[in-house]
């Protein structure tokens, strides 16, 4: 069993730790708010007072944080992950951040005698809990092979896509489709409803049609009833779309549907819906169409 560390125990990170604990691994964790991690401490996780303390205690340290700024915050400084690394350790960041920033952190990690992988995931809380999460990984081959058995505990489908930073690029390319699909699905439901078809009927038809991707199947019902807790909120999704638009600019790739969907996320934020799951795009569109309550 490996000695592992995990920094960032939010909705996804905490459940990843749970899977690692259930597999018998020793995990030392850190979160800005310790109270949110109490259930993991009760389940056997050890506590690290700082990200540095976590990295010092672990052979492989994982992180799952909100954005590029958060990655820099947990890795840098005297109390950061990098300060706790040493010879032959591995740092795996599972966040969706700027590819350039991820590569810069990888260089700092290498200077400490350690190796870094960027390993963002594709899936939701439900796919993670069901053991169906997929992981894309960037970094050198040898480091990937060392970390692979642990990554497969978190998710069974693990794909090495290339050098440092490329997995994050792949994740950004993946995530832009989630919001674009949700907006297109919302347009179809709203058009059917405005034509006189019950919303429930329209949802049933589309979820059993050729457009029903896995994402549409598990998020489509949210147009009928939103989850109490956002799986992935508007702000988080817009962060990913902005990363996509910036990457598109860098590589001269036009992203027209991404740009339009990004504007709809801004609309949702303007309506006070920023903390809702990004499937709230339906409500934003419905309000624009004259529906008072979505």
Q: What CATH class does 3-163 carry? A: alpha beta
Q: What pLDDT, on the 0 to 100 scale, is given for residue 293?
A: 66
Q: Which of 32, 90, 40 is nearest to 66 (CA)?
A: 32
pLDDT in tens, 190-202: 999 999 999 999 9
- Run of H or E including 90: strand 90-93
DSSP code for 233: B
* pTM for the model: 0.88
Q: What is the DSSP letter of 33?
A: S
Evaluate whether 141 touches 160 at the Cβ level (below 8 Å): yes
In tens, the pLDDT along 23-70 reads 999 999 999 889 999 999 999 999 999 999 999 999 999 999 999 999
CB-CB contact of 63 with 35 (8 Å): no
5: CB partners within 8 A, 6+ apart: 27, 28, 29, 30, 48, 54, 55, 57, 58, 60, 61, 62
Q: How many helices (H) and strands (E) does the chain have?
A: 13, 9
Of 171, 194, 239, 276, the catalytic one is: 171
Q: Is 171 a catalytic residue?
A: yes
What pLDDT was estimated at residue 186?
Answer: 98
Q: Please say whether the structural domain 169-288 has been given the CATH code 1.10.1040.10.
A: yes
| Sequence spans of domains, the chain | 3-163, 169-288
Q: Bridge-partner residues for 93, per DSSP?
A: 63, 118
């Amino acid at each position: 069993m490996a000695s592992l560390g995990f920094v960032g125990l939010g909705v996804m990170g905490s459940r990843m730790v749970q899977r690692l604990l259930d597999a018998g691994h020793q995990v030392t964790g850190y979160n800005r708010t310790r109270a949110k991690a109490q259930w993991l401490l009760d389940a056997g996780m050890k506590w690290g007072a700082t990200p540095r303390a976590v990295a010092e205690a672990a052979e492989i340290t994982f992180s799952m944080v909100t954005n590029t700024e958060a990655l820099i915050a947990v890795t840098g400084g005297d109390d950061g992950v990098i300060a706790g690394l040493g010879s032959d350790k591995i740092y795996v960041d599972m966040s969706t951040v700027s590819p350039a920033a991820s590569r810069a952190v990888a260089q700092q990690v290498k200077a400490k005698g350690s190796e870094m992988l960027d390993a963002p995931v594709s899936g939701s809380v439900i796919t993670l809990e069901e053991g169906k999460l997929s992981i894309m990984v960037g970094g050198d081959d040898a480091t990937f092979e060392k970390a692979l058995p642990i990554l497969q505990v978190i998710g069974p489908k693990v794909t090495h896509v290339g050098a440092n930073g490329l997995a994050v690029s792949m994740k950004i390319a993946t995530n832009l489709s989630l919001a674009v699909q949700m907006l297109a699905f919302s347009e179809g439901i709203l058009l059917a409803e405005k034509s006189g078809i019950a919303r429930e009927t329209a949802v049933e038809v589309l979820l059993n049609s050729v457009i029903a991707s896995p994402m549409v199947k598990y998020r489509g019902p949210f147009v009928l009833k939103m989850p109490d807790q956002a799986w992935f909120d508007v702000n988080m999704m817009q962060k990913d779309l902005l990363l996509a638009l910036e990457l598109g600019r860098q590589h001269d790739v036009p992203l027209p549907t991404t740009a339009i969907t990004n504007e709809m996320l801004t609309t949702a934020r303007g309506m006070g819906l920023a903390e809702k799951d990004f499937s709230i795009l339906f409500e934003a569109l419905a309000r624009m169409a004259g529906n008072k309550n979505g």
